[in-house]
Structure 1
Amino acid sequence: MTLSLDYAALSDVGRVRRNNEDSAYAGPHLLLLADGMGGAAAGEVASSAAVQVIRRLDKPGITGPDMMEALAGAVHRANERLSELVEEDPEREGMGSTVTALLFDGQQLGLAHLGDSRAYRMRDGLLYQLSHDHTFVQSLVDEGRISKEEAFTHPHRNLILRVLDGRPDSDPDLEILDVQAGDRLMLCSDGLPDYVSEQVIATSMAEGTPDSVVVELITHALEAGSNDNITCVVADVVETEPASGTQPQLVGAAAELAQGGTGPATATMRAQGDGDGGAGGGGRGLDPEELRYAPQAPKRFLWLRRLAVVVVILGLIGGGGWFAYNWTQKQYYVGTDGDYVAIFKGVDEVVPGLDLSSVFEKQTLLVDKLPTYSREQVEGTIQADNLAAARQIVTELQHAADECAAKPKPTTTPKPTVKPTTKPSTPVSTPPKPPATTPVSTPASTPVSTPSNGTVNPDDCDGVR
């Protein structure tokens, strides 16, 4: 069964503000709403640009998992467009826009959301919020610090945390949602839910056509004293051909800019002249939108900043490497240089393309003249705290070699050979008498070296060549 959408969209500037920073679009395959912000930074330009880029998704053929990729890509392209607009006119620095989009493939919905505009679905008489607000107050609700009812009247309920603003970290929430015939979908800017309770919204959505519902919802917001722009998109999921046909609807700032009634420059000037002033309009007050979102400046010239970061990192690495190398060149150890003992400057480590040690002083002491234990130490290198300590090690090695050279080498006496006696071939009943003339030889003893009174073990000197 193939489903379709019967939709309507409406936007009102409100009773206080003189410019509409909301933009919305409704088509056979896409419902889209963007609420611009930034006051003097031309929020209407931001919302209009976002809608003009993302509305290109309103076409058949985007189904299933492809919807998520398509939505994410469109939001990122809209974000890049905002960055380009600020590059063209620095006066727009700081502008941003919410984005809430529902992509429809006839069987399911793909949701992309960023900011505090909302998406609702009414099914079987029950209203359910599909989107999650990216606001300070919602974070308090999520943490359990305030209730949902307290959030409705919280003084900072309009403080938004995430929007589409040209910065590279503007990633939307993405979700696949089920849909069925009889569902009613609604997108709205914060000018509605900040002043009208969900009970009133649910009552209005329970009856009527999409056209009558958008009018009734905006009327409720105006009567509740909403000082913001109010925009609604309502769509019914139906099994028959939609009553509204397939003609897309574009409302709000996007429609005004598309008609040429005002260009980006005019929109910016008009935003600068805005003031809330209350109903009496007495003097220029602080624009509520200026309090709503105060983003950091978008990251312009991103490639240049990344290059600067890379240069800094390389500088830190290079500086650290220089200090490390400088430290190694203050170290000393004793090792071998060919057949001789030598003092080396540096550390005995191998780094490709870099010499960390070199011969500092070559000694006249031959390695072969050292006792076995000392020779093994030198061949494995002996670390020293400084140059003086290295020279002291060489002095001790020379002393050990001198001790071995002064010790006489032991001599050995050959052992005499003893001829074995021949056993009698015929057994006798009485034991034979030992021959009186056969001498019994005693082997000569092997001389043992006596320990030296020096510091070298005499046995170590056996390996001296």
Structure 2
Amino acid sequence: MRYVAVSALSHPGLLRERNEDSLVIGPWTLCATVTESPQTLVFPLGTPLVVAVADGLGGHPGGDVASALAVRRIASVGPALSSDDAVRDALNACNRAVYEAAGGDTGGELAAMGTTVAGAVLRPDSLLVFNVGDSRVLAATRDGLHQVSVDDSPPLEPGRRTTSIVTQCLGGSASYRAIRPHVRAEPLSSGDRYLVCTDGLTDPVPPEVLDEVMREHDDGRVAFELWKAAIEAGGPDNITLAVVRVLDA
């Protein structure tokens, strides 16, 4: 039998007053809190298992509310996410829920709150990668670390590696806007490792450094070392990450 080990943490970084990121691993959620020491959970690989992060939009009120709402809703339907369509339906429902919680067309103090989301649904022989916004899913392979999610961001200006602008998210506008979630299937084998994270990790830490950290450290240490790299790079944003590993019994 195969198992899934997930090591995760969530931290506000060095410059933000609060943490507006949230995290879901199976039925377990972590919302707007601080965990400097990674938590590791192990699950049998059978019923669909969802691992995802959500990053509340900065500059909007209620980013923490939006990200928590998204991950809790995803956690509640996680075992039913067995197909591409099921994942898309869940994300569309999250988008509607965030918009309605913000006050819908009537507005309110949480008007235009929103969040990104990115994650993976692990099934016995494959996984479904999904995202809306610029939080990411990356696969660690023999050839290095490469992104398997799709950033919803405008083209980068020459000389720039990152941008804080997103072209779609859950909620995030005064009037309802439909989304087009990115969902793709990937084969899954024992030993495969994935990184699910918010841009508080990928913006300050260059891809080559992420790859080096993933190569040099085992599962029990890598989540901490990734967080440490983001802090040493200035920790400009909330940092939430989960390292997913598929294991034989």
Give, in whole Å, the separation in 1 of the partners of 2:110 and 2:231: 29
Structure ranking higher in strand proportion = 2
SS in 2 for 1:186: strand
What is the CA distance between 1:62 and its match in structure 2? 4.9
- Residue identity opposite 2:129 in structure 1: L
Matches within 5 A, 1:124-203: 124=142, 126-136=144-154, 139-140=155-156, 146=158, 150-152=159-161, 157-165=163-171, 167-203=176-212
Equivalent in the alignment of 2:76: 56
Aligned match for 1:86, one of 77, 80, 102:
102
Q: Confirm or deny: 8 A CA contact 1:32 1:51 kept in the other structure.
A: yes
Please say if residues 38 and 95 of structure 1, whose CA atoms lie closer than 8 Å, have aligned partners that are also in contact. no
Question: Is residue 3 from structure 1 mapped to residue 2 from structure 2 by the alignment?
Answer: yes
Report the equivalent of 1:227: 236
Query: In structure 2, what is the Cα distance between the partners aligned to 1:86 and 1:158?
Result: 22
Give TM-score, length-normalised by structure 1. 0.46
Give the C-alpha shift of residue 9 in structure 1.
Answer: 1.2
Separation in 2 of the partners of 1:208 and 1:226?
21
SS at match of 1:33: strand
Shift in Å, 1:234: 0.5
Q: How many residues align?
A: 223
Correspondence for 1:14: 13
Q: Deviations over 1:9-47 (max 9, x none)?
A: 101111111111111112341111100014341100010
Helix, strand or coil: the match of 2:23? strand
Output the amino acid matched with 1:160.
V
Q: Which runs of 5+ in 2 are unaligned?
A: 27-42, 44-48
**Conserved in 2, the CA contact under 8 Å of 1:32 and 1:55?**
no
Residue 354 of structure 1: aligned partner = none
2-structure distance, mates of 1:43, 1:209: 33
- Quick check: 2:223–2:242 contact (8 Å CA) kept in 1? yes
Q: Measured at CA, do residues 73 and 172 of structure 1 come closer, stay the same or move farther in structure 2, by a change above 3 Å? A: same
- Which string of whole-angstrom CA distances, capped at 9 and with x for unpartnered residues, describes residues 338-381 of structure 1? xxxxxxxxxxxxxxxxxxxxxxxxxxxxxxxxxxxxxxxxxxxx
Q: In structure 2, how many angstroms separate the alpha carbons of the residues matched to 1:39 and 1:11?
A: 20
Residues 102, 110 of structure 1: 8 Å contact kept = yes
1:233-286 superposed Cα distances (whole Å, 9 cap, x missing partner)? 10111122xxxxxxxxxxxxxxxxxxxxxxxxxxxxxxxxxxxxxxxxxxxxxx
**Residue 24 of structure 1: aligned partner:** 23
Paired amino acid for 1:92 = L
Q: CA RMSD in A?
A: 1.9
Q: Given that residues 7 and 211 in structure 1 are in contact (C-alpha distance below 8 angstroms), is that contact kept between their aligned partners in structure 2?
A: no
Alignment CA distance shift 1:21-1:197 (3 Å): same
1:236 aligns with 2:245: yes
User: Aligned-pair distance for 1:210?
Assistant: 3.2
Deviation at 1:204, TM superposition (A): 1.1
Q: CA deviation at 1:185?
A: 0.6
Higher helix share: 1
Distance 1:198 1:125 in 2: 13
In structure 2, distance between residues paired with 1:201 and 1:40? 29
Once the two structures are TM-superposed, the CA of residue 171 in structure 1 deviates from its matched residue by 2.1
| Pick aligned residue for 1:122 from 140, 148, 151 | 140
CA distance in structure 1 between the partners assigned to 2:226 and 2:194 by the alignment: 13
**Structure 2 CA distance, aligned partners of 1:78 and 1:187?**
19
> CA 1:194–1:62 in structure 2 vs 1: closer, same or farther (change >3 Å)?
closer
SS in 2 for 1:151: coil
**1:4 alignment partner AA:** Y
CA–CA distance in structure 1, aligned partners of residues 217 and 78 of structure 2:
26
Among the aligned pairs, what percent are the same residue? Answer: 31
Greater relative contact order (Cα 8 A, min sep 6): structure 1 or 2? 2
Shift of 1:211: 4.0
Q: Which amino acid aligns with 1:17?
A: R
- Asked whether the 8 Å contact 2:81–2:87 carries over to 1, the reply is no
Please report how far the alpha carbon of residue 227 of structure 1 lies from its aligned counterpart in structure 2 after TM superposition: 1.3
Q: Which runs of 4+ in 1 moved over 4 A?
A: none
**What are the ranges of 5 or more consecutive residues in structure 1 without an aligned counterpart?**
241-465
Aligned amino acid, residue 48 of structure 1: A
**Cα displacement (A) at 1:58:** 3.1
Query: Partners in 2 of 1:40 and 1:123 — Cα distance?
Result: 37
